A and B are shown apart, each in its own frame.
Chain A
């Protein structure tokens, strides 16, 4: 480490000390290690142990995709077509209000699965592009959650609790690890619901899913908008250009500085600094969202939807541009997976939205040398039932919510590639091997960033609040490279 880096590190730490003295960073002392001005080098050392990943892209599939039709291959299930799910499997477990008291008739997947990659993992025909990068994927088939409905399910996976009011994963990282880029937010949220658009059953989202809960609100996710200003209130009003904006800020700065010398409150210094960052963001954000420098080949890789603002494809490309600029945490919410009826048709649409861009993102990160220290996560809030909801034919069926097992994948960021972990029973109903709770997933993500989930905490309402809550959580060591 050269002396300039040492200086930078020290300065970062001094900044932290000032902050804590000013009561801003009542943060755990642990934050000393990853102060908000720390250089990228120190961050890779991690907060509690060496970090494998510096950044995360979380592709959140809101509405809960069907694991049986995408990842969790059950070749013998077709023999059970239209037969009742054996009670020995369902075991009287809780179902939703929609299918409570109704017969549970098995609906096998109509989609073909084929082996892909060097380990011959089975992938659905709906995911041809992801099948092509399967050697980079770590597919977990035994994820499970406590919630059976969308709102608590999403709130649990995003904030560690079903009850609103807790801090989201990204805000924990912002709080614990701090920013790596001085000109951009460190937690960015991108939303899309393209194929299903305005017509289908797209489930609601809530700003709490990227909120900061009890953490200071500066750690909350910043939503990028598909139209208008990408960041709220970014553009100057009509009649204000860079020049008049600069003139105005210089005036404000000189008056603020004079006031500072009179009043003595260092908070005024913070205001000056934040106004300067706002000014820099007016340049850095448009530069970030401007795709004119991307090659035609890159654009083609993400597929034709990349041309449309607000599409999942566009958001994947933006996510790559963001992590390239060291944005710590990018979360994409893609809605429209809630397929209670007419699943095959809708799933074709959803996977058409997602398959190519997600695979392109992995390839693009890889060729830019970013996949090694960027963790990509793909998951919904729960899975879907083996039994049918609504009409059942060989080519048309629906599935209800299923919290007991679902599939997700991760790539890069120190995960093993080309493997699957955990097994479900022959109905993809119960977990047969190696269960992974949502808490364990969150603990594992934190671990890859060098954070011990037991030690990243914030005192609120009498508890040392943690992302993984009060119950035990375990890092899934078996899937780490």
Chain B
């Protein structure tokens, strides 16, 4: 056993050694010596700040290490190098011991005078000079110079350019989330001009699919979904917001405007519909339904959720950590949090959803919201509303007359028995008859009017259900006071605070006595703000390399990782704002770089040394997002229905999933799949129930959209393998594709010239459609062998073949037997191609 232990400890030691180059990856190698910002501060933050950091209430020994202060430096050295468990820092029960090399970094820093610098992300964006590189042949683009400089420091070289087929698939998937068609591949291959690649980029950037694809990352970030996410998890309607995000990317709306309209679109003078729709950003939080939590608790929770979203989306900071106490690692005080929250604490609406059974509820709406009828719908609605308004008083008046008539009739009493034939008796009887007749006709009139009214209301409700609408933000007239909530408890208000931005960031300039969300938006998008542009370009970069220059794209604070290329990050941020926050421009410069165009093929060692490709010495290779996996399938099989915008759709999913989680009174409580073309729309339009999102998405790491997510994990699991093998749409698509493949070849008449010939052609066609590449001779040979094997399986098992046939081909006459075997065999072949690692991977 002791032998084993020693082996294990050696292996552990080896693991630590392995970790060293990993740490070096994140360090700023543009600077040769260890820097406070990128080497020292992360250690202090992770190991010391919890007790000796910004949080005043929990500061031990009155010692703080997050800023320069009067400290006994020798004492620190003594404590971190001690063997005595009572003396050593960090204390053993913190479970965060310093490693040897970390102690060394700290000691060297102290020996050199313990100079402090502010955390890198909180200092203004620099306009760095472009580094001088030794190799002049690779590229003269600024992005490449920054990357190459780092590689040259490490004595590494960039990889060669990827081939054109790889590049067009990579670009198409990265820019539009869809694979290239065979036509576009050939067009690109045949374009031998110098500008071929550039033109391809421009073609892709101008496709509507670009906006759909770019929107997805924003929708994760702001947790867009189709249900409320709490308690009953009822339906909510905000799809116009989703469509606005798509349009904004396609129209290349300047990103500062994109941010401003979301934060404060409702505060423009005379806001446009788009600006109001955008302000719905403030309504995307989870919301509970009335009757369980206390309204004041829910209101507080909603505000915290709004501020957390602002923190993640625009600041890359965990603002919500300061709800209960000063932040442990970042200089965000509890006061900072509540001052910022004061901007979002003045919502003019209910904090919980309610009014079940109303049309509004069925539409997933809760005031304030914006109606977005088409012209025709508006006319219809106007007419119906006017008619109903006209009808209402008439109904009331008629009912009044009816009541009076009833009373009059009742007053006369029943006719006497036997009949009274006296004059008085006759007169009374006549009156009675008239009263009865009057009542009868009034009854009929009221009935008819009510019926008409009901019909009109039903027509109006039906129309309303069809009219698009979306939740928007609205400010109360008188500002609700905001307090610091003691320990973050909704019922423990402390000192009152005024709207302001965090003290450690540049101050907000505003002339208005009461600062508004509009002022806040301007503060976020001012050139003084160190975070907004950095956080934004990093997230966009992440889309094209699988990982950001700052890996922790959700956290730019003290505990986040340092950027791999800090100067490149600043360069991109600076030029992004200078270009007028031009997103397409930024994207274009990224994908035109040689860094982006490198091949992702490399020696296995390269993958082991730099698994996430932080050094950018090769092209990135990573699994496609859940949505792209599905959209690619629909696209290559010819099933994709590329309609833009509109209400969310429900492609089929296994039965009973919602039933397991929903309450019988949840709305909706049962999943009803859509039919027709709707089930083949892009995944960005798929209905997202937060309580149980579509498994086709979550199995491939899509988030639940319950909290703001800046970065998805990428896992590789057997459940994913099962999904690709057996999910209904996946297999149906393979069969659809195979059927097309067979009919295409039949049409071109090649079937006559021998099976072998057409088999090869079909294999090439299918392989190219799915992977954008041509099969090698060896691959073709393997695939030909496989087709014949599948043929055999299905020839020998007619029952199995029959089972695979689509319903319209089942139980047809015997003459079609061969055709069925062909369809089955080719379905299996296409199905195999769709399950390749390369198919689900962007290479």
Give per-residue flags for A92-116: 1 if the beta carbon is below 8 A from chain B beta carbons, else 0. 0010111010000000000000000
Per the 8 Å Cβ criterion, residues 176-230 of A in contact with B are 185, 191, 198-199, 201-208, 211, 216-218, 222-223, 225-229
Size class of the contact patch on chain B: 35 or more
Known contacts A97-B293, A206-B690, A455-B95: does B318 contact A263 (CB below 8 Å)?
no
- Of all chain B residues, which has the CB nearest A260? B837
Q: Known contacts A251-B832, A254-B782, A271-B837: does B725 contact A245 (CB below 8 Å)?
A: yes
Instruction: Say if the beta carbon of B555 comes within 8 Å of chain A.
Output: yes
Give CA–CA (A148, B824) in the complex, Å.
57
A250 smallest CB distance to B (angstroms): 8
Complex interface: chain B residues within 8 A of A13 (CB)? 8, 11
Which of B101-109, B230-238, B678-686 faces chain A? B230-238
Asked whether A87 is an interface residue with its Cβ less than 8 Å from the other chain, the reply is no
Q: Evaluate contact between B621 and A164: CB separation under 8 angstroms.
A: no
Which residues of the partner chain B approach A44 to less than 8 Å between Cβ atoms? Answer: none
Q: Are B779 and A258 in contact (CB under 8 A)?
A: yes
Considering only CB atoms, which chain B residue lies closest to A236 in the complex? Answer: B726
Taking CB atoms, residues of chain B closer than 8 Å to A281 are 718, 722
Q: B73 an interface residue at 8 Å Cβ cutoff?
A: no
A121: interface (CB < 8 Å): no
Question: Does the CB pair B723–A205 fall under 8 Å?
Answer: no
Complex formed: what's the CA distance from A207 to B829 in Å? 35
Residues of A within 8 A of B290 (CB): 97
Q: Is the CB of A204 within 8 A of B666?
A: yes
A96 and B297 alpha carbons, distance in the complex (Å)? 11
Query: Counting CB contacts under 8 A, is B753 at the interface?
Result: no
A149 to B554, CA, bound (A): 30
Closest B residue to A148 using CB positions: B293
CB-CB under 8 A for A96 and B15, given A234-B726, A239-B801: no
Q: Contact check: which of A148, A150, A262, A459 meets B231 at CB < 8 Å?
A: A150
B7 in contact (CB, < 8 A): yes
Residues of B within 8 A of A185 (CB): 719
Contact A233 B601 (CB under 8 A): no
The answer, yes or no, to whether B72 is at the interface (CB within 8 Å) is no
Contact B601 A262 (CB under 8 A): yes
Contact bitstring B683-717, A, C-beta under 8 A = 1, else 0: 00000001111010011010010110000010111
Q: B661 near A205 (CB under 8 angstroms)?
A: yes
Q: Which of B149-157, B576-584, B605-613 contacts A (4 or more CB under 8 A)?
A: B605-613
**Does A426 reach chain B (CB closer than 8 Å)?**
no
A463 at the interface (CB under 8 A from B): yes
- Which residues of chain B come closer than 8 Å to A390, judged between CB atoms? none
A14 to B7, CA, bound (A): 11
Stretch at the interface among A20-28, A381-389, A405-413: A20-28
- A255 contacts across to B, CB distance below 8 A: 779, 782, 832, 836
> With a CB–CB cut-off of 8 A, which chain B residues contact A245?
725
Which residues of chain A (234-278) have a CB below 8 Å from chain B? 234-241, 243-245, 247-248, 251-252, 254-256, 258-260, 262-268, 270-272, 274-275, 277-278
Whether B555 and A96, one on each chain, are in contact in the complex, defined by CB atoms closer than 8 angstroms, is no
List A contacts of B838 (CB < 8 A).
Answer: 256, 259
- Decide if B559 touches A462 in the complex (CB within 8 Å): yes
Stretch at the interface among B195-203, B450-458, B498-506, B652-660: B652-660
Q: Which of A10, A164, A463 contacts B229 (CB 8 A)?
A: A164
Is the Cβ of A204 less than 8 Å from the Cβ of B231?
yes
Q: Specify which chain B residues have a CB less than 8 angstroms from the CB of A77 in the assembled complex.
A: none
Q: Which of B93, B318, B664 contacts A461 (CB 8 A)?
A: B318
**Is A274's CB under 8 angstroms from B717's CB?**
yes
Taking the complex as formed, is A232 at the interface, i.e. its CB lies under 8 A from any CB of chain B?
yes
Q: Is the CB of B663 within 8 A of A202?
A: yes
Given contacts A247-B789, A264-B602, A267-B716, contact A205 B691 (CB under 8 A): yes
- Measured CA separation A259–B836 after assembly (Å): 9
Q: How far is the CB of A332 from chain B (nearest CB, A)?
A: 12
Given the complex of chains A and B, what is the CA–CA distance between A14 and B4 in angstroms? 13
Contact with A along B1-21 (1 / 0, CB 8 A): 100100110011011001100
**Is A32 in contact with chain B by the CB < 8 A criterion?**
yes
Q: What are the interface flags for B260-299 relative to A under an 8 Å C-beta threshold, 1 for contact and 0 otherwise?
A: 0000000000000000000000000010101111110000
Closest to B666 in A: A204
Question: Which residues of A have CB within 8 Å of B330?
Answer: 462
**Which residues from chain A contact B802 at a C-beta distance below 8 Å?**
239
Question: Which of B96, B554, B661: most chain A CB closer than 10 A?
Answer: B661
Please measure, in the bound complex, the distance between the C-alpha atom of A406 and the C-alpha atom of B7, giving whole angstroms: 48
In the bound complex, residues from chain A placing their C-beta under 8 Å from that of B828 are: 240, 244, 247-248
B656 lies within 8 A of A206 (CB): no
CB distance from B590 to the nearest CB of A (A): 22
User: When the two chains form their complex, are residues A22 and B800 in contact, meaning their CB atoms are under 8 A apart?
Assistant: no
Question: B595-625 toward A: CB 8 Å interface, digit per residue (1/0)?
Answer: 0000011111011100110000000010100
How many angstroms between the C-alpha atoms of A248 and B837 in the bound complex?
14
How large, as a class, is the contact surface on chain A? 35 or more
B539 in contact (CB, < 8 A): no
Report whether B693 and A207 are in contact in the complex, using a CB–CB cutoff of 8 Å: yes
B720 located at the interface, meaning its Cβ lies under 8 Å from any Cβ of chain A in the complex:
yes
User: Residue B843 at the A interface, CB < 8 A?
Assistant: yes
8 A Cβ contacts from A1-45 to B: 1, 6, 9-10, 13-14, 17-18, 20-24, 29, 32
Q: Which residue of A20, A163, A259 is within 8 Å of B837 (Cβ)?
A: A259
Q: Is B662 an interface residue (CB 8 A)?
A: yes
Interchain CB contact under 8 A, A233 and B666? no
A231 is contacted by which of B690, B701, B722, B801 (Cβ under 8 Å)?
B722
Distance (whole angstroms) from the CB of A28 to the closest CB of chain B: 10
Say yes or no: A256 contacts B836, CB within 8 Å.
yes
Q: Which of A164, A207, A263, A266 contacts B608 (CB 8 A)?
A: A266
B726 adjacent to A233 (CB under 8 Å): yes
Q: Is A454 an interface residue (CB 8 A)?
A: yes
A50 contacts partner chain B, Cβ-Cβ < 8 Å: no
Query: Considering the chains assembled together, what is the distance between the CA atoms of A18 and B612 in angstroms?
Result: 14
- Docked CA distance A80–B451 (Å): 55
**Chain B proximity of A302: nearest CB distance (Å):** 21
Task: Provide the A437-481 mask, 1 if CB < 8 A to any CB of B, else 0.
Answer: 000000000000000001101010111100000000000000000
A1-B4, A231-B722 given as contacts; is B607 within 8 A of A216 (CB)? no
Cβ contacts under 8 Å, A457 to chain B = 95
Q: Given that A207-B692, A239-B824, A264-B607 are known contacts, is A227 also in contact with B656, CB under 8 Å in the complex?
A: yes
B713 (CB) vs chain A CBs: closest residue: A216
Count chain B CB atoms within 10 A of each CB in A165, A233, A241, A256 and give the residue with the most: A233
Residues of A within 8 A of B716 (CB): 218, 267, 270-271, 274
**Counting CB contacts under 8 A, is B721 at the interface?**
yes
Task: Name which of B329, B713, B794 has the most chain A CB atoms within 10 A of its CB.
Answer: B713
Are A232 and B663 neighbours in the complex by a CB distance under 8 Å?
Answer: no
Which of B295, B329, B623, B725 has the most CB atoms of chain A within a 10 A radius of its CB?
Answer: B725
Across the interface, name the chain B residue whose C-beta is closest to A401.
Answer: B292
Structural contact, A232 and B719, CB atoms closer than 8 A: yes
A165 and B15 contact, Cβ closer than 8 Å, known pairs A231-B719, A251-B786:
no
Chain B residues with CB below 8 A from A266, complex form: 604, 607-608
Question: Which one of A98, A226, A252 has the highest number of Cβ atoms from chain B below 10 Å of its Cβ?
Answer: A252
A151-B230 in contact (CB<8A) = yes
Task: Map CB proximity to A onto B299-333 as digits: 1 under 8 Å, 0 otherwise.
Answer: 00000000000000000001001000000111000
CA distance A185 to B717 in the complex (A): 10
- Closest-by-CB residue of A relative to B827 is A239
In the complex, given contacts A241-B797, A272-B837, what are 8 additional A-B residue pairs having Cβ atoms less than 8 angstroms apart?
A94-B294, A148-B293, A198-B664, A201-B663, A206-B661, A208-B706, A258-B779, A274-B721
Could you list 27 examples of A-B contacts with CB < 8 Å? A23-B611, A97-B291, A97-B294, A98-B292, A149-B288, A202-B663, A202-B664, A204-B232, A204-B662, A204-B691, A205-B661, A205-B691, A206-B661, A207-B704, A216-B715, A217-B698, A232-B654, A237-B726, A244-B828, A247-B790, A248-B832, A248-B835, A255-B779, A259-B838, A264-B601, A267-B841, A271-B721
Question: Nearest 10 A-B pairs (CB), nearest first?
Answer: A239-B804, A462-B559, A278-B721, A23-B611, A165-B707, A164-B706, A237-B731, A277-B718, A205-B661, A233-B726
